[in-house]
Structure 1
Amino acid sequence: MHRGGPVSLVDARVERFNDAEIFVEVFENVRGEDMFIIQPTSNPANDNLMELLIIADTLRRSSAARITAVIPYFGYARQDRRTKARTPITAKLVANMLVEAGIERILTMDLHATQIQGFFDIPVDNLYASPIFALDVKHHFKDQLDDIMVVSPDVGGVARARELAQRINAPLSIVDKRREKAGEVAEMTVIGDVSDKTCIIVDDLCDTAGTLCKAADLLMEKGAKEVHAYITHGVLSGPAVERVTNSVMKSLVITDSIEATGPVQAAKNIRIVPTAPLFAQAILNTWNGTSVSSLFDNSTLGPIYEGLYTT
């Protein structure tokens, strides 16, 4: 990032050799500069991760003063612990690789497991989508805020759902799901009364959307008036878009932390809210040495999103 004046992308090229090896060349002098690499490690996760590592190595060897990796979606975050014998903790491996490549700071959003911050011995700023979602809910549901019920799709996501519920002053319900094996949901029950409520399911990521759509069905069976979902990371792989399109959900709101595919953009009940204003301000605050956590306050975040949520 250049000091003073408008900020533009550094002139560089990222290419593939015939055997798919990645090559990076930077065409500008970055010596002594504060550099920010913006790279979600989403699908294709391995290619995007290697690009990030190689760009970081390029900048380090070019004498950049500091390298911050801006990773809107942190891939491999679901592999944050050993779930059974002889399995990896890949999130820790990725953390080690990022630091070894020369990255000195991480800026990301809604880590699947917040303890991943502790996998790093460098600063990690984990931004939250809930303040943006709260602004969006207050704008789009302003006439029915008293009827909203925030729903966590599982027990593990209660803290995340509670954060949004507190911001919009809404009650909280939980869907308790029990898995027989990975990818299958054997049994789901609702904890809390959702009858005649506008239910908003909150989670950090949606992959195949199987659990999300089943939770929406269950909430409607329990008497919900309508169901919406606010999910930070729209992984949306395989049959996800078709499932969401055909589901009882009125809307699925995701962020642009992962680049939307054509089917996602075309889906009639999927809406995308931008994270760029929040990340841009966080990058500016990091560069200036001012508070990043202050961006979670409505008084600070509101003006950043003023053009999007004017009433």
Structure 2
Amino acid sequence: MILLNKQPVITEQFPNGETKVKDFDHLISADNLVQFTYQEDGDLIKLLFVKKRLDEAEVRCRLVINYMPYSRMDRKIEGDLFTLNYVSQFINSLAFDQVYVIEPHSAKTTQLLNNSEAIYPALDWLPRVMAELGFTDQDRVVFPDKGAAARYEGAGYANCCVFDKTRNPQTGRIENMILKQGNVPIGAKCIIVDDLCSAGGTFLGAAEILKEMGASEIYLLVTHCERRVLSGKLLNEGSPLEKIFTSTSMMNEVHPKIEYITINIEDYV
């Protein structure tokens, strides 16, 4: 999905699958903001069409990427394609005046994108959610791995817990998970913070360990949440997780354990 100056860009498909962009020109202004939500690879073609028309109009244009596609493929692995690099090169070729990436999976994204800046709304949401849940000094902010800890290291919370996990390099499955830093007082509330949730195996593993250590309530705050979470175990009735707080950057399905938080992009750009 693409928004131009807060208005949806309307598209249709011809029978052979080609894209038609409809009723577009009235959306153009002198200073334009494109908000890009990736759902499938065809959305990149739509972004190409939108930017090329704006170039023809000779107007200024900035891009907000709600979730950077291919951001998990952020390093060169022997025999595999470095797809984040290629997608970043494609976006660079469109020559936006400024690119904002909401909660990139790693610093590699902004290193590869020209004129780019990372936005971390989770850091703004966290104190509000903690206040809503009645957190006290005995409760804990939890980072499920070293990547999350590095991403939010400037959050300024003293009572943090950090997990370390080991994945099988062939299957990608988590083989081991331990609490590397911090402690969990008996009866403490915990909120796990990260950028992205897929099926939720990492968070389920962390939540189960926290529960065993004596946590009373466990929550998840994650900026991006894939639809795959709906078919995983994280939201099951027997899950130790009370609720997920997330944005609509990747999904908007209603679920009793999901609470959506709106990203007010005007606060950041």
Q: State the TM-score bracket (shorter-chain normalisation).
A: 0.7 to 0.9
Pick aligned residue for 1:59 from 54, 72, 87? 54
Q: Which residue number corresponds to residue 296 of structure 1?
A: none
Amino acid in the other structure paired with 2:195: D
Judge conservation of contact 1:233–1:257 (CA < 8 Å) in 2.
yes
2 CA distance for matches of 1:231 and 1:240?
A: 17
SS of alignment partner, residue 237 of structure 1: helix
Q: Which residue number corresponds to residue 3 of structure 1?
A: none
Counterpart check, 1:157 vs 2:137: no
SS of alignment partner, residue 118 of structure 1: helix
Amino acid in the other structure paired with 2:80: T
Amino acid in the other structure paired with 2:90: M
1:275-305 C-alpha deviation (Å, 9 max, x unpaired): 0x2x12334xxxxxxxxxxxxxxxxxxxxxx
Q: Which residue number corresponds to residue 37 of structure 2?
A: 40
Q: Which residue number corresponds to residue 114 of structure 1?
A: 107
Counterpart check, 1:213 vs 2:204: yes
Judge conservation of contact 2:37–2:66 (CA < 8 Å) in 1.
yes
Q: Which residue number corresponds to residue 70 of structure 2?
A: 76
Shift in Å, 1:170: 3.9
Q: CA RMSD in A?
A: 2.3
Pair 1:29–1:136, CA change in 2 (3 A): closer
Amino acid in the other structure paired with 2:220: A
2 CA distance for matches of 1:69 and 1:131?
A: 21
Pick aligned residue for 1:13 from 6, 10, 14? 10
Shift in Å, 1:12: 5.4
1:158-207 C-alpha deviation (Å, 9 max, x unpaired): 1234334x1xx441111211112343111111123213221111110001
Q: Which residue number corresponds to residue 176 of structure 2?
A: 187
Give the paired residue count: 261
Structure in which a larger fraction of residues adopt helix: 1
Q: Which residue number corresponds to residue 25 of structure 2?
A: 27
- Percentage of pairs with the same residue: 23
What runs of 5+ residues in structure 1 fail to find an aligned partner?
1-6, 284-311
TM-score (normalizing by structure 1): 0.76
Judge conservation of contact 1:81–1:89 (CA < 8 Å) in 2.
yes
Counterpart check, 1:145 vs 2:140: no
Shift in Å, 1:104: 2.7
1:240-284 C-alpha deviation (Å, 9 max, x unpaired): 4653233111111112222413xxx1x212111110x2x12334x
Q: Which residue number corresponds to residue 292 of structure 1?
A: none
1:94-132 C-alpha deviation (Å, 9 max, x unpaired): 1111122342321221100123212123x2121112332
After superposition, residues 272-287 of structure 1 pair within 5 angstroms as: 272-275=260-263, 277=264, 279-283=265-269
SS of alignment partner, residue 227 of structure 2: coil
User: Which 10-residue stretch deviates more, 205-214 or 173-182?
Assistant: 173-182
Pair 1:186–1:109, CA change in 2 (3 A): same
What runs of 5+ residues in structure 2 fail to find an aligned partner?
none
Structure in which a larger fraction of residues adopt strand: 2
